[in-house]
Every structure is written in structure tokens, then in C-alpha cells.
Amino acid sequence: MIPAINIQQIHKRFGELHALKGIDLTIEQGEFFALLGPNGAGKSTLINLLAGLSRPTSGRLQVMGFDVNAQYAEARRALGVVPQELVFDPFFNVREMLRFQAGYFGHGRSNDAWVDEIIESLGLADKAHTNMRRLSGGMKRRALIGQALAHKPPVIVLDEPTAGVDVELRQTMWEFIRRLNQEGHTIILTTHYLEEAETLCSRIAMMKQGQIVALDSTQNLLNRVPGKRLRLKLAGMLPDVLRPLLREEQDGQQVLALADIAQLESILATLRAANVAVEDMQLIEADLEDVFVELVS
Amino acid sequence: MAGLLSQNWRGAWTLFRKELLRFWRVSFQTVAAPVMTAVLYLLVFSHVLEGRVQVYPGVGYTSFLIPGLIMMSLLQNAFANSSSSLIQSKVMGNLIFVLLTPISYLGFYLAFLAAAIIRGLVVGLGIYLVAIIFVDLPLEHPWWILAFALLGSGLLGTFGIIAGIWAEKFDQMAAFQNFVIMPLSFLSGVFYSIHSLPPFWQQVSHLNPFFYMIDGFRYGFFGTGDISPFISLGVVAGCFFALSLITLQMLKSGYRLRG
């Protein structure tokens, strides 16, 4: 099967700045994929190249087998992009914008039913005739998602889609996106909310300074950080013998790194021997943030 | 293949419709206001100069002035339509909605061009309809009128696209309008015949493409002008062709649109 996205040796330079340094990446059809990295890692640059908003210095990009530059019309038809910024056209209402967007891709009135379905699914029905500039930030974000979907693209790129969106809206949005993924759409997501990537995505690429530093399934990435964390609130001082395990200390609580669960018993025994009472205790699994911190920071 | 081709043109057609609707939504500002301004010019200048100046034999000053005013407004509004739409979309960031689409650079150009031409023609027609209420205006050669109206608005619409692509701030666009479009249109013979100028300034006027557009357009009304309408048509068509090539090259290369 043709990959949804195929990126080969992509370099992008802005003058002296080498923003992307030979990126190779393949994303299969139907994947829910996350592209993570700190600000300036090159995520948005890579998305701009995929969308044809920018041109690579060298290398090759394909969307559903179509070259982004040589076969730009087919490649763009296969891609829907939700931009990071809350941009909108102040002259039109939500329904008009969605219909125009579908029209730009060559769809006529026969597509109007799909536009109405998007409006309904994104909870925009009562705002369909509201001018874009009168919408709240969250509603504008939904309209942006709607615009990216208006031409029924098989591949959808969401660049920080939940930035500034409240929890309720976020849930509705993810429900809709998850449904699209279940229907076969490939979803590529960049986000600063790592728990979203961990929950939703099956595979993750982590970028740092224009390079991919980790590319694996979410579970394999989580397995990269061995052991667990033990959060303790103690009545006394942490015994010196446990100090080498200390990873974090905040608000009177200490977080210790455990190589494995068996270590828990010896820690508690040490605390008992030192006559330090445990006021509260919590065992924490490693999460994507730990992986992210280890690989990217 | 044919289906794909028609899909591509449907995209450009949608962009054209969106551009039309964009200016029509604010027609008080984009159509009524320039018509009102032109009528005010007409009232003031005709009141002051009618009976004192006769530029062409048998043609009153007010009659002489009307085609020039129509053409000046038509040109300015064709320029304003494409340039303001592009600069607004760039500054607000919503140009991305068009850049993400499969619309070709030629389709993009034709959509903006056609919308600019229509706005120019609508404003021009508006001024004409108001003017003929007060003044009996001949129509000696309607085809010349139409040819210069179309080519002139096309030329300025194209120039507006260039300005819109080049400018990155409203400030730069204002400079384009105030230091290029306004002087060229005011010094083109809208309010006078260049034969009334000293020889040196007559020569300078021949370097101004607006002069040819206005003189050729006026020829269509009165059957007389400062120079042959064929020369004017050649200059205007040549400028339109050259600017179109430059614009298409800018769009094809993604200059200031695609990084």
C-alpha cells in the first residue's frame, strides 16, 4: 500500500539556519501519528513543506504517492491542513467559508451535504451563519478544522489544534478526529499536550533541532524509560542512603526513581529503620513526558 | 484528465466568486464611495471651469472631464481590488486557505484579475450613469470605450496583484497607492489635454501609461484625442502583456507567498 506520507532526505535552509537536516519519515495510511518536539524543532517547517506552503532546499516529499512539487494539485487534494494560527476571512460566515474551501478543491454543490455534516459534527450548527470574526477562539478553531476537511482529504494534518481550546471543546474535537481516523483517514498531529499524543497516537516522531531523534510506536517509546517513580510525602528528612534515587523535590514531596517495583520494599524498610514516617505515597508509571524530557531536553 | 482539469478550473472559478463577493459585501465602500468622489470632482471642476476652458472644439469642459474621471476611478478601483484583497489576506494570514489548494498560478491570476476588472467596470458604469443624468455625453466609438475599459482595468488589476504580492505591510501598500497610482492618474490628462502643457511636460506625459488609457478611452466618446487610439491601444496592450508575464512569473516562483 502507498504510504500516506513519504519524506526522503528533506533539507530546508533559511539563509544560515539549517532548519531541517535530512528528515526521512514514512507514515502509513490510517495511522494516528504525532510529531512532537520543542519550539523551533522544525515541526511546522516540515508541515509547511508537506502542504506546499514552502519549498524544500533538497529532498523529496510525497502525499499519497504524489510528489508535493511535481504533482502539487494531486498532493494538495490528498491533504487537509489545520494551521496553528487562528486565521479567518472576516468577510464570510462559517458555512460560506467551508463551501468556498471545498470549491477551491473543485467540489461543487454536490459537496454541500458533506459541509453540513462537518458543521453538525463539529458543533457549529448554530454558528453556521455567523461571521467568522464574531466566533470565539474555540469556535474559530473548530471552523479551521472544518475547512481542512471540506474537500474530504485522506490525510489530515493538525498543527497544534487544541492550543487555546477549553476542555469540553477539546473532547468534542478529539471524538470527531478519532472517528475520522477510524473511518480510514490518516491523522498527523503536532501538539504540546503530550498526554494527547500518548492517548491518541499509535506512533510518534520526536524532533529536535531539525532532526528526528526518536521514531517508534507510542508503547515502545514509553518502554524506553525503565522503572517507575515513587512520590513520597515524609514526616522527616529523606535518609542520606536514599538520596541517590531522588529525581525531584517539590512542595515537601520527593520523587524517587525505581529501577523496578521490587525496590519499593527496600525503600520502605530504609525509611522504617530511619524512623521516618510516610504521610503519603504514590507510584507513578513513566509517561511520554519522561521520554520527551530524556530525548529532547 | 478532463475531470481533473475541470476541477482545477472550478477552483479558480470559486476564488473569482469569492473575490467578487468580498467587494460586493462592502459595496458602500468599494462602489458607492468612489462614485460619490468622482461626482464631487465633477461638480467642483465643472462649476469652476465650464465655459472658461474648451479642450476639444465643440466639447464642453464637463463633457471632456467625465470620461477621464470614469477611467481614473475605474483604474484606481481595479488596482485597489486585487491589491487590498491580497495584502489583507497576507496580513491576516487567511491567504493560506488559497495557498493550500490545487489552484494553479494561472487560475489564481485569472481569478484576481477578473474580479478586479469587474469592480473597475462597475465603478466606471456607476459614474457614467450618474453623469449622464446631468450631461449629454456622446458615444462615438463604443468598442474603443469597451476595449480601453477592459484593458485598463486589467492592467491595473494586474499591477494590484504585483503590489499585493510584494507588499508585506499596509504601509507599503499605501506608499504604492499614494506615490505611484495617484500621481500617475492625476498627471495623465484626466483634467486637461496634454496639448495644453509645455513641450517638455508633453514629452514626459508620453511616458505615463495612464495617459494612453485615458486618451484612448476619451477617444471612444468624442472621436478625437491627443494621439491615435491605435497607438494608445498598442501601448496599453503591451504594458498589460508585460505586467501579466511578470505577475505569472512571480506566482509561479512563489515569490513572497511560498517560502
Interface of A with B (CB under 8 A): 14, 48, 51-55, 72-74, 76-77, 79, 81, 83, 85, 87-92, 97, 100-101, 103-108, 147
- Rounded CA-CA distance B240/B230 in Å is 15
User: Distance (Å, rounded) from C-alpha B237 to C-alpha B232?
Assistant: 8
Q: How far is CA B198 from the centre of its chain?
A: 28
**In whole numbers, what is the pLDDT of chain B averaged over residues?**
93
CA contacts within 13 A on the Cβ side of B100: 28
Cβ-Cβ contacts under 8 Å, B8 against chain A:
73, 106
Going by C-beta distance under 8 Å and a sequence separation of 6 or more, which residues neighbour residue A98?
A: A115, A118, A119, A143, A146, A147, A150
Q: What is the pLDDT of residues A104-142, one digit of tens each?
A: 999 999 999 999 999 998 889 999 999 999 998 888 999
Sheet holding A186-190, edge to edge: A79-82, A155-159, A186-190, A32-36, A203-208, A211-217
Residue type, B146: L
CB pairs under 8 A between A and B: 83
Residue to substitute from A87, A104, A105, A145, interface B, most B β-carbons within 10 A: A104
List the Cα angle B112/A89/B102 in 5-degree steps. Answer: 50
Q: In terms of Cα–Cα distance, which of B42, B80, B97, B139 is closest to B257?
A: B97
Distance CA B245, CA B251 (A): 10
Nearest chain A residue (CA) to B26: A91
Residue A155: the pLDDT is: 98
Contact B254 A55 (CB under 8 A): yes
Residues of B in contact with A147 (CB under 8 A): 97
Whose grid coordinates read 508585506?
B168
The alpha carbon of residue B142 is apart from the nearest alpha carbon of chain A, in Å, by 36
Contact check, Cβ <8 Å, A106/B258: no
The number of beta carbons lying within 10 Å of the beta carbon of residue A25 is: 20
Asked if A73's CB is within 8 angstroms of B4's CB, the reply is yes
Which of B28, B94, B110 to mutate to probe the A interface, most A CBs <10 Å? B94
In angstroms, the CA A250 to CA A136 distance is: 37
- Chain B residues touching A52 at Cβ < 8 A: 99-100, 258
**For testing the chain B interface, which of A12, A105, A107, A140 should be mutated: the one with the most B CBs within 10 Å?**
A105
Task: Examine the pLDDT at B217 and tell me if it is beyond 60.
Answer: yes
Q: How many CB atoms lie within 10 A of CB A1?
A: 7
Q: How far is B244 from chain A (nearest CA, A)?
A: 22
B22 contact residues in A (CB cutoff 8 A):
91
pTM of model > 0.80? yes
| Residue pair B125/B91 in contact by the 8 Å Cβ criterion | no
- Mean pLDDT over all residues of chain A? 91
Q: What is the ipTM of this complex?
A: 0.91
**Nearest CA among B176, B80, B159, B69 for reference residue B120:** B80
CA pair distance B49, B28, nearest whole angstrom: 30
Under a CB-based contact definition with an 8 Å cutoff, are residues B181 and B164 in contact? no
Q: Which residues in chain B are contacts of A81 at CB distance < 8 A?
A: 100
Closest-CA residue of chain A to B23: A91
Residue A77 and residue A153 in contact, taking contact as beta carbons nearer than 8 Å? yes
The yes-or-no verdict on residue B57 having pLDDT over 90 is no
**Mean pLDDT computed over B148-162:** 98
- Considering only alpha carbons, which residue of chain B is nearest residue A12? B259
Which of B10, B26, B104 comes nearest A103 by C-beta? B10
Mean pLDDT of A236-246: 90
Residues A103, B93: C-beta atoms closer than 8 Å? no
Q: Each residue of A14-29: pLDDT tens digit?
A: 999 999 999 999 999 9
Indicate the residue type of A140: K
Mind listing the domains of chain A with CATH numbers? 5-223 (3.40.50.300), 228-286 (3.30.70)
Give the torsion through C-alpha atoms of A97, A98, A99, A104, to 10 deg: 90
Question: Per residue in A42-68, is it b (16+ CB within 10 Å) or e — as a string?
Answer: bbbbbbbbbbbbbebeebebbbbebeb
**pLDDT at residue number A18:** 95
Verify whether the Cβ–Cβ distance B97 to A147 is below 8 Å: yes
Q: Which residues in chain A have Cβ-Cβ distances shorter than 8 Å to B87?
A: none
pLDDT recorded at residue B191? 87
Res B144: pLDDT? 97
Q: What is the rounded CA–CA span in Å between residue A35 and residue A45? A: 12
Which pLDDT belongs to residue B5?
57
Please give the average per-residue pLDDT across A177-197, as a whole number. 90
Comparing A201-210, A213-222, B218-227, the range with the smallest average pLDDT is A213-222
Nearest to B190 by CA among B198, B182, B179: B182
HSE of B94, CA atoms in CB hemisphere, 13 A: 22
Which residue in the block uniquely carries the three cell numbers 492592467?
B155
pLDDT band at B198 (very low <50, low <70, confident <90, very high): confident
Q: Comparing C-alpha atoms, which of B239, B34, B33, B246 is closest to residue B152?
A: B239
- Straight-line distance from the first to the last Cα atom of chain B, in angstroms, rounded to the nearest whole number: 30
B247-255's contacts with Cβ under 8 Å and 24+ in sequence apart are B247/B109, B247/B158, B247/B161, B247/B162, B247/B165, B248/B105, B248/B106, B248/B109, B250/B162, B250/B165, B251/B105, B251/B106, B251/B108, B251/B109, B251/B165, B252/B105, B254/A55, B255/B165
- CB of A250 within 8 A of CB of A272? no
- By C-alpha distance, the chain A residue nearest B8 is A106
Residue with cell 477552483: B11
**Mean pLDDT, range B48-72, rounded to an integer:** 85
The answer to whether A53 contacts B10, with C-beta atoms less than 8 Å apart, is no
Residue type, B233: L
Task: Find, in chain B, the residue whose alpha carbon is nearest to that of A148.
Answer: B97
Using CB atoms, which residue from B26, B92, B258 is nearest to A52?
B258
Smallest CA–CA distance, residue A263 to chain B, in Å, is 54
Q: Kindly determine whether residue A108 and residue B10, on different chains, have CB atoms separated by under 8 Å.
A: yes
Sheet holding A253-258, edge to edge: A246-250, A253-258, A228-234, A278-285
Q: pLDDT per residue over A277-287, tens digit each?
A: 999 998 887 77
Mark residue A56 as left, alpha or beta (left: phi above 0; alpha: psi -120 to 50; beta: remaining). beta
Best mutation site among A91, A98, A109, A145 for testing chain B: the one with the most B CBs within 10 Å? A91
Pick the residue from chain A with its C-alpha nearest to B102. Answer: A73
Cβ–Cβ below 8 Å for A72 and B102: yes
